[in-house]
A and B are shown apart, each in its own frame.
Chain A
Amino acid sequence: DQQVKQNSPSLSVQEGRISILNCDYTNSMFDYFLWYKKYPAEGPTFLISISSIKDKNEDGRFTVFLNKSAKHLSLHIVPSQPGDSAVYFCAARGYNFNKFYFGSGTKLNVKP
Chain B
Amino acid sequence: NAGVTQTPKFQVLKTGQSMTLQCAQDMNHNSMYWYRQDPGMGLRLIYYSASEGTTDKGEVPNGYNVSRLNKREFSLRLESAAPSQTSVYFCASNFPPGGEPSFGPGTRLLVL
Name A's B-contacting residues (CB within 8 A): 2, 4, 6, 9, 32, 34, 36, 41-46, 49, 89, 91, 93, 97-105
Contact = CB atoms under 8 A, between A and B. Distances in A.
Contacts, number: 58
B53 interface: no
Interface in B55-91: 56, 58-59, 90
B31 interface: yes
Name the 9 nearest CB pairs between A and B, nearest first. Answer: A97-B98, A43-B103, A102-B43, A104-B42, A97-B97, A102-B42, A46-B100, A44-B103, A98-B50
Contacts of A104: 40-42
B52 to A, nearest CB: 14
Interface of B: 4, 31, 33, 35, 40-45, 48, 50, 56, 58-59, 90, 92, 96-98, 100-106
A46 B50 CA distance: 20
B48 A89 contact: no
